[in-house]
Structure formats: C-alpha cells, structure tokens
Amino acid sequence: MMKCQADLFDLPGDEVYLNGAYMSPQLRSVTQVGAQQLSRKGSPSGISIDDFFQPKKELRTLFNELIHGEDESNVAIIPSVSYAMANVAANIDFKEGDEIVLLHEQFPSNYYTWENLVRSKEVKLVIVPDPKIEKGRGERWNQQLLAAINANTKVVAVPQVHWADGTLFDLAAIRKRADEFGAYLIVDGTQSVGAYPFSVEEIRPDALICAGYKWLMGPYSIGLAYFGPRFHQGKPIEDNWMNHQGSEDFARLVHYNPELKKGGVRYDVGESSNFILVPMLIRALKQLLEWTPEAIQDYTHRITSDALEALNQLDVFVEEVSFRSSHLFGIYLPQHMAMETVREQLKIAGIYVSYRGNAVRVSPGVYNTQEDLTLLVNCFKNF
C-alpha cells in the first residue's frame, strides 16, 4: 500500500498544494537530471550520435509500457497537445457534413483544432452539454455522449477525465459506439494518464495525446502521443530530418530520403532529441511505473474519502466516485457559498487549487496527506 511520497519533492512546508491538474510539482530526481543535462552542451563533443536516438527510444518504451501499448514505435514525442491534434486533424479525410463530437468546456487545445475545420472543411461540431448539477450527473453525461455518436460522426475527440471537474468517461463504451459508425476516437489523456490506469489494448484509441507536465510528472514543453494504425501512413505537419528513414546515419544525410519512418514516430516534432527534457521525462516515467497509476488512484482515494464525505454534509456537490477520478474532482457550491469568498478563504489558508468554470477544482497527488484534505474541508465549514 502506497504511503505519502512528499519527501521526494521540494514543496514548501507552509502550503497545501492540491493543484496537480494545473502543474505537477517536480520530483527532486527529475530536477537533478535536468541540471546534469543542462551542463552537457558546455562540452558538445561529448554528445554522440547515439544521444540523438537512444534516449528517445527509452522514452517511447516507458510510455508504451505505461499505456499498455503494442509497440513503442507508435509513440511520438510532441511539444504540446495542440501539435499532436494538428497532426491528427491533418490526416483525417473530412467531407462536408461530417460531425465531430466534443464535450462542453473541454480543454481548448482539444477544441480549437476542430473548430477551425468548421470553416475550412464545412464540418459540424456537436458539443455534448453537461447535465444539471445533481446526483447522477456523470452517468447522464456519459449517456448523452454515447447518444450523440451516429452515422454522421467522423471523430469523437474527448478526454478520459474532464479537466474542469474530473468527470470520468467510459472510453470502452465510447470506442464500441464509435466502431459502429467507423468513427475515429481521439483521446486527450493529459489529465489522467499517469495517475489513472489507461490501456491501449482495451480502449484501442486512434490517438492518445498527453502533455508531459501534469500527471506524467515531467517538465513543461514536452509530451507524448500514441498514434494507432489509421495514422501509420499519414503525412506529418512538418518534415524534419529525424522523421525520415535513415536519419541515424549522419554521413548519408546529404542523400535525401523521402520515406518517412514507420508508425507514430513519423509525427515526432523537430529536435525531438531534446537533451534536457527527454531525460527528465524518462526519469519521471520510471518513477510512475514504479508507483503504478493503480496505486496512485488507490492512494488519492484513501486520502480524499473522509473529506468528500464531510463536504457532502455541507451541501456542496461532488460527483459520485463511480463517475469521477480520485486525483481530480470538482466541488460545485450551493447558492449560499460565494465563489470569491471561497477563493479568499483558501488563499488565507495557503491551499492551492484551481477554478475552472463553476467548479473549485481539487487535484491531490502522492505528495498530499489526509490532513491536507481536512484543511480544505475546514475552509468550507466557515460558511
């Protein structure tokens, strides 16, 4: 059974950080790797040809293991979610009248790419609204999402866990429904993968896209994306020297090769060998695999259960556990609680959360304790 891992981080002792969905705190070991790598370019003769490729292979292998994928060559190294979304959208053959199913208030990087297609391809966005804030909300939202998928649906682009309030979506059911109509399933795993179990084998997403600086516990400006078979013959949005076959032979780079690498590797961003960020993310993924997402969910469930029970007695709304994650959940306030007053109370108490839409977004991690959640609840008891 996992215990608190706060000693592996450098969080200030006078604050309660319940904001991993905003940005994870950095492991000391990841910081150390970054510092070591930063100094390497001072003596560039020590950077070998293998350094351009071997660390990337290790990173892909670790991520592939985390998501239970079939082959690390299906994993691309990306700078952002929007970059991978652009590659996805560019490699789907849209026709006028095709529908793209999205969720209400999902993250902008999983919206703007699709919204642009409304003008350029004359497709239609189908936004599945969030139900009324009351018992059974998460279940109804899942039902409405499934009902929105039909013969006109070309793409279903959704998160596993909603970034604003932690609502959990049944990706296996969504995949089954999408298959009925041959629709693509594009999953934004940024707010779940690493902290919540995910299986490519089970879900069979056409693409799974994850920023690295949240629940993958890595640095900013690097992420990872799985691309399934439907994208393996696609054309990336950029041609860089490393996503072409034969790039490992520097002496022959003057002999241009138009053939792209096989699998998802072809969607790597240029300069994907990033000698600082890649090793940092490698170290972070090694730690996650040692912990396991299952253990992280169990830990965050244990430290939040009593607090959530206490909050329910205060007339706030938190989704029932079967339709939300334990590492990220939204607190919706009753009418007598003003959001600005809540924000002030939490600020005074040194408690860091986020505010997304109408929800107070709470996202604990393995560095938090049950006592941290008790302090959170006490701020709501002042009303």
* 36 falls within a domain: no
Residue 290's pLDDT is what? 98
What parts of the chain have a pLDDT lower than 50? none
Residue 311's pLDDT is what? 92
Residue 203's pLDDT is what? 98
DSSP code for 126: E
Cα-Cα-Cα-Cα dihedral sign, residues 92, 96, 99, 100: positive
* 299 falls within a domain: yes
Range of the domain at 223: 42-290
CA dist list (Å): 252 to 45, 69, 112, 238, 248: 20, 32, 40, 21, 9
pTM to 2 decimal places: 0.97
Instruction: State whether 119 and 186 are in the same domain.
Output: yes
Residue 337's pLDDT is what? 87
Instruction: Please write the tens of the pLDDT for every residue from 160-213.
Output: 999 999 999 999 999 999 999 999 999 999 999 999 999 999 999 999 999 999
Helix (H) or strand (E) holding 186: strand 184-188
Output the domain CATH number for residue 83: 3.40.640.10
Instruction: State whether 190 and 328 are in the same domain.
Output: no
* 11 falls within a domain: yes
Cα-Cα-Cα-Cα dihedral sign, residues 341, 165, 193, 87: negative
Surface-to-core class of residue 187, CB atoms within 10 Å of its CB (0-12 exposed, 13-18 middle, 19+ buried): buried
Distance CA 20, CA 196 (A): 13
Residue 269's pLDDT is what? 98
Residue 226's pLDDT is what? 98
Tally of domains within the chain: 2
